[in-house]
Structure 1
């Protein structure tokens, strides 16, 4: 069975790769385990609101863009 990436996971992966970062580096930034971050990209866990804000600030994109509610990256 093929996994379907949720908009948040797709955006996280896309933004991370644009900055040439590894999942391990993102996990360190978020102070979580590598596996926990990987689960965020795969859409296997619900990401807390404060973590979403931290990620949007880090990538300098709007929260709506990050979660897939908008295609406009501007804040």
Structure 2
């Protein structure tokens, strides 16, 4: 589920895969595998993406449809 969410967040922000990969400090191919679900996303990357997109980790993981972070 998370791979759909990170793809949707990226496209909602008009970013390219290479932009997100650069932000994460990884190769574009690695990030592409996160988005297509063929590689598990590490926790540090998940947390960094949640911070960048200003959403909760639970939202990215598909646990909730509420984009807000806890406490907001």
Same fold (TM over 0.5): yes
* Residue in 2 that maps onto 1:4: none
Match of 2:37 among 31, 43, 61: 43
How big is the alpha-carbon RMSD for the aligned residues of Structure 1 and Structure 2?
Answer: 0.6
C-alpha deviation, 1:13, in angstroms: 0.8
Give distance in 1, aligned partners of 2:21 and 2:32.
Answer: 8
Give distance in 2, aligned partners of 1:41 and 1:10.
Answer: 7
* Residue in 1 that maps onto 2:18: 24
C-alpha deviation, 1:45, in angstroms: 0.9
Give distance in 2, aligned partners of 1:25 and 1:37.
Answer: 10
Structure 1 unmatched ranges of 5 or more: 1-6
Structure 2 unmatched ranges of 5 or more: none
Please say if 1:73 is aligned against 2:70: no
Q: Secondary structure at the match of 1:24?
A: helix
TM-score by length of 1: 0.88
TM-score by length of 2: 0.92
